[in-house]
Structure formats: structure tokens, C-alpha cells
Chain A
Amino acid sequence: MANGGTASGGATGSGTTGTTGTTGTTGTTGTTGTTGATGATARVEIGSRSAGRVVGSWRAAWLRVEAHWTWYRRYWRSSLYSSGLQPVLFLAAMGLGFGSQVEAGPATGGLAYVHYVAPALLVAGAVQNAIGESSYPVLSGFKWQQDYYAVTATPVTAGQLLGGQIIWIVLRVGIACVVYTLVALLFGAWLNAGALLVVPIGVFAAVACGVPIMAVAATTYNEGERFAAIFRFLVMPMILFSGTFFPIEQIPAAVRWLAWISPVWHGTELARGVTLGGLGGWPALGHLAFLGVLAGFSAALARRYFYRRLVV
């Protein structure tokens, strides 16, 4: 045995094979040398016939995605409107309908309004989709279905559960963005292949907006009006006044900073940049950094709150 003085109790394991992945655990049949067991606390693991084993962190998160997918296969129709149809309707109404009355001018970079608004609507739709998926569905895992507690009673940890939730939102929003992009193509809304980059940008902005809402959900015990208030007083204004439909230069200077701290604006600037051009390298990096910091910071916060709620 590698671990000085530790009795080789692990030797009795038979059914369990070694584990893979990043959690750093070895299988029951392995030696106990490298993991958390220190010389001070001799671990004498009792022999096993169980079929269960620890899976690696990425795998665990992916198993959560599998679970979401199982659910989605049954219920995708119910979210078709909010995540799929709504942005397309907006594009038709604002881009084609309303846009036909808008003259190309300096504000639209000399372009038809549909070209101006299409990338921004993708970002706005993705953000709304992600926020929706991060609010009540996450709260339900804690509060109504309580299935999060079932998951964390298995080898899967609260952090892996959160990771799976984020990956799931990436995929789900990604699918919706691809569908939107294709429909917008039929509308002639794209000018060039830069449109391909709008999808990852939309997803990135969506994650940066969704993960903070997950953190909020993990600290919400009494749903009350919290999410409704967030939708009304945070999300809607953010979508309306972040340069989605008109440039933020039209906003009075005194309150324009509100748009600057809006992740939707950063996403919209990036999305327009890759399709319409006119965005310098440094500003682009700045927008990416803003979204990255927001996503990273809120993921760390969400992780802490997930543990606080699930491991009590």
C-alpha cells in the first residue's frame, strides 16, 4: 500500500472498477494512496458489491444534460413559442414590417433596418430564453420537484449539478439560436457569413445573463414576486434600452451608463460587429471581457449558493 500504515481494507472490493475523470478518486479496488485519505485518518474502506461508482466531473455534468434532454424530448413543444417562435415573430414585425418604414441612415450604419435589428434580436431572444430557463425551472429543482436533492444523494455533487445546468442552457439556447439564424436567412436578414459568429455570441451573452439568475434562484425560498419583478424591471428594460432597436446614443447621457452595464448591450455590440462590421478589436475584447467576467463571477457565486442550499 502506498499510504503508510493504512490497512489494505480496500482489497475486499470486488464489484467496483476504477473510476475515471477529474474527481481524483480511484476505484474501490485501487489503492487508497492518492486521494483525500491522509496518513492521519486511516481509511479502511469496507468491501463492496455495489454497482455504483464515482464518475468524473465532466461526465457527471453531462449526465445531468442527458436528464434534461430526456425531459426536453417530451416537452419541447411547450417551450417552442417562447424560445423559438417569439424571436422570429419579432424579426418579422420589427425587421420587415416596422423596418420597412425606417430609412437607412447614420443610426443604422446606412443599412436596412432588418440587417440592423436581426443580430440584436438573436441576442435578446437568447438572453430571455436563458433567463427563463434559469429562474423557475431551477427554483423547482430546489423547492417543488426537489429533484436536485435526489441528484446530490448520488455521487454527483452540487457543483456538477450546476455545471450540467449551465451546459444544458448552452445547448438549448444554441439550438434556438441556430433555428433563428436559419429563419432569418430566409428573410434575407444576414449580409455575410459573419452571421455564423452571431450564434456563439448570443449563447455567450445568454450564459452571462442566465447564470446570475441561477444564483438568485438558489437563494430564493419564497418565490413571491422576485422573478416577476426581475422580468419586469430588469429584463424587459434591459432588452428595450440596450441598443436592440435603436442606438444607445439616443438615450440621454445621464442614464446611458445603464446601457453600458447591461450585458445585453455588450452582446448586441459584438453581434452587430461580426455581421455589420465597424467594431474595433479593443472594444470587442472589452465586450467579451465584460461578459466573461460576469459569467465567471456569477458561476462562482451560484456554485456557492448551490452548495449552501443542497448540502445542509
Chain B
Amino acid sequence: MSQLASITLMQNDDARPVIDSIIADNPGVKILTMPGAIKLDCEGKITVNRASVEERLGRPWNLQELHLVLISMAGNLDEDDDYFTLSWRH
């Protein structure tokens, strides 16, 4: 059975570079847009990479700034300085 790892973000200017980097870094990502929100789903695992967001943002970015635009998520969380991963794999 399918096990989607998922992250839902606000649809605003702060979140845009995060959304773009998730789409670029997670091949096969499925996108559900709702008014004000975007839900990104990926089979098994989904990751936000700090470097990838910084590249788009053009400034240093603390991964915990993700808290400001995060709406929801699914999966077991692994958070470090450089990545934020949700996954159902062990």
C-alpha cells in the first residue's frame, strides 16, 4: 500500500523558495493546490534541503524558519541543520 510522506505549506512569498526547492529536490512529487495552501506528497520520503532553499533565496536561511510557513506534515520527522526530512522508511 502507498505511504505518502507529505508537507503542506502556506502559499505566500516566504514559502515560495521552499516550495520550489521541494519540487526540484523530490522527483515524483505530487502537488495539491488549495486556496492559501499547497500540499506536496512524495512516496515514502520528502525532504527540504537548506542549501537548495538558500540558492533560490539568495541569502542564508535557517531551516527552522520553516516553522513560519509550515501548515501540516505526515511522516516521521528527522530535522538537522541542513535538512528536514519526513519519511515512512526505517
**B is a partner of A:** no
B: which residues have CB within 8 A of A? none
A: which residues have CB within 8 A of B? none
